[in-house]
Amino acid sequence: MFGLEKRDTSMLIIVAVLTMFAPFILNPFPEGSALAQFNAGYPDLMQRFVIFGIFAIGFNILFGLTGYLSFGHAAFLGVGSYSAVWMFKLLSMNVVPAIILSVIVAGLFSLLIGFVSLRRSGIYFSILTLAFAQMSFNLAYSVLTPITNGETGLQLTLNDPRVLGASATADGSIPVTNLFGLEMRSTFELALGPWNFQFNAGYYLCAFILLAAFYLTIHIFRSPFGMMLRAVKSNQQRMNYTGLNSKPYTLAAFVISGMYAGLAGGLMASMDPLAGAERMQWTASGEVVLMTILGGAGTLIGPVLGAGFIKYFENIFSKINDGVLHSWFSFLPDGMENAMVTLIHPFVGKGWHLTLGILFMLVVIFLPGGLVEGGQRIAAWIKRKRAGDDAPAGKTEPAE
């Protein structure tokens, strides 16, 4: 089905179900309840889930298949955002040309950086990509201010010389991004009892692009090209001894990965037409590394899970303050209530990084394959349990 093996088709269907029904899945608790704090089914956060999922999928093509660890992929994310915003300013508010330009420009930029960086491998490659990313950040922040608008960030104005569209609407406001007339901020709300579900046009555009990117990634993983990239990761020196030149393959993987990052940057600008230099900082590059390792480097669905996991913590746990904690433990006597709030306070709110760091350590120590390995272990345990239940009553395993 879809030209894929049965296992890959099942995985694609799982991702499709998770993305299409995300407004329901991410809103399990009714509005007004104490647990509604953990709901994540609002458009802005759902868009971030899928956009950073695309970013992580692309990074996994490079890191997961070839083993080349790049600390500079945020540069392509930022370049994609800047390209998209310039397209909105000069041509049209339609997101299609902006997304196409962001992918092309990020691909050309990654070709340049990859051609230089891939002359080295290992830690030297990682340092080179980090250096290029920081150079890009500083250029965007200061030297290229006429193009990037420096620390203020590039954004739309009423004076934009837009060729295929008005610079201002009838009421004098800035036009919004759209897909052939369908506004990206357009949201349909469905109220079912105490639950309120939001279906956003921008989110579903990002979700469909995520599915397309995931489908393409499956083909890359299963293709002879993907096998060559795995050979590079396994033993590049031995591969070179056979007479095969690995550099064209690693450069192609680097460019494809950069184009995925540019696509993610273009989608970020399409949802919110603003591009800033902070998207190119080394912290953003480190974040996608964490997403990939946490989900499972070298797996197909792992980076998507890792991106959702980290963005959930960043946006949900960071909002839990002392007021929320007091409301949770208000049924306890005052002394115990204050003690519980004091105990949990360092792990939520501004301290959400501590909780994420502890969970990341546990995953790396006990699940080196990431969240995907955890899911595989659970599935294997369930399978063994069912096999044990289905065994004939008279049969027992011999004692050790």
**What are 303-322's pLDDT values in tens digits?**
999 999 999 888 888 888 88
pLDDT at 396 (0 to 100): 47
Q: What is the DSSP secondary structure assignment for residue 141, as one 8-state letter?
A: I
Burial class (CB in 10 A: 0-12, 13-18, 19+), 36: middle
Is 50 exceeded by the pLDDT of residue 398?
Answer: no
Q: Residue 276: name the closest of 136, 179, 131, 158 by CA.
A: 136
| 356/358 Cα distance (integer angstroms) | 5
Residue 388 falls inside a structural domain: no
Q: Residue 305: name the closest of 192, 176, 181, 214 by CA.
A: 214
pLDDT at 193 (0 to 100): 84
pLDDT at 110 (0 to 100): 96
Residue 196 falls inside a structural domain: yes
When the pLDDT of each residue in the chain is averaged and rounded to a whole number, the result is: 89
Residue 57 in 3-state DSSP? helix
Residue 367 falls inside a structural domain: no
Is 70 exceeded by the pLDDT of residue 397?
Answer: no
The residue range of the domain holding 137 is 6-280
Residue with the bigger pLDDT between 281 and 65: it is: 65
Query: Of 66-70, 176-180, 261-265, 325-329, which range is least confident?
Result: 325-329
* pTM for this model (two decimals): 0.91
pLDDT at 393 (0 to 100): 53
Reported as a single tens digit per residue, the pLDDT across 149-186 is: 888 889 898 888 888 877 888 888 888 999 988 999 99
Residue 52 falls inside a structural domain: yes
Query: How many domains would you assign to the chain?
Result: 1
pLDDT at 390 (0 to 100): 64
Contact 369, 299 (CB under 8 A): yes
Residue 202 falls inside a structural domain: yes
Count other C-beta atoms under 10 Å from residue 98's C-beta. 27
Residue 70 falls inside a structural domain: yes
Residue 341 falls inside a structural domain: no
Residue 290 falls inside a structural domain: no
Q: 274-305: b or e for each residue (b if 16 or more CB lie within 10 Å)? A: bbbbebbbbebbebbbbbbbbbbbbbbbbbbb
Distances in Å between the Cα of 136 and the Cα atoms of 73, 151, 361 are 11, 13, 31
